[in-house]
Chain A
């Protein structure tokens, strides 16, 4: 059973471009969470999704950021018109049920030039 798969591992974008981060949860997990981590800081919650539904997006900026978890395929975190402040590590985690163990991916390091 493969773990949570995130790709790409590293993503470099120029200011104004779009970044698409992918996350395939563990098999059987229908709960997906996205977190952002700045250097030397903790993980900041962004969005919590279940299949085809956004449950809580209170941590996600209202503009330029969006997330989806379609019925088929990976969860996608999309950042439009990236700025330097978007540079961070973005982690995805999945769980079979809230309150149980979160399984984390290895993260995507986004660098905006």
Chain B
């Protein structure tokens, strides 16, 4: 069974600053994928970033990057130059190739102007 733990229910960051959201996971698979999804107040789920476990290089998407530590089963999300539009719930998720995607409980991110 796969599990995802997000230990920070809420976080706040000053606009233009950098924030890191934590995520740890557990899986018995060797081939799997990790995701960060954003859910703004509109409720729409938006993919922020995706990482393939077999790739050692950390994924980046503009201001969003991850710190993937495979041995530690850690997958944190770093948001640089935080903007007001980044305020949302952020969900970490894991899946293997043939299975469902499992989500963590989420971290609510507040951006302080």
- Do A and B form a real pair? yes
Residues of chain A whose beta carbon lies under 8 Å from any beta carbon of chain B: 33, 35, 41-45, 48, 56, 59, 89, 91, 93, 98-99, 101-102, 104, 106-107
Query: Is the CB–CB distance between A41 and B105 below 8 Å?
Result: yes
Shortest Cβ gap from A39 to chain B (Å): 11
A interface: dominant SS: strand
Query: Is the CB–CB distance between B100 and A48 below 8 Å?
Result: yes
B interface: dominant SS: loop
Known: A98-B95, A99-B95, A101-B47. A43 touches B100 (CB 8 A): no
Near A by CB (< 8 A), chain B positions 90-104 give 91, 95-104
In the assembled complex, which residues on chain B have CB atoms less than 8 Å from the CB atom of A43? 45, 91, 103
User: What is the chain B residue whose CB lies nearest that of A41?
Assistant: B105
Query: Is the CB–CB distance between A98 and B45 below 8 Å?
Result: no
17 contacts between A and B (CB under 8 A): A33-B100, A42-B91, A44-B103, A45-B102, A48-B99, A48-B100, A56-B99, A59-B100, A91-B45, A93-B101, A98-B97, A98-B98, A102-B45, A102-B101, A104-B44, A106-B43, A107-B43
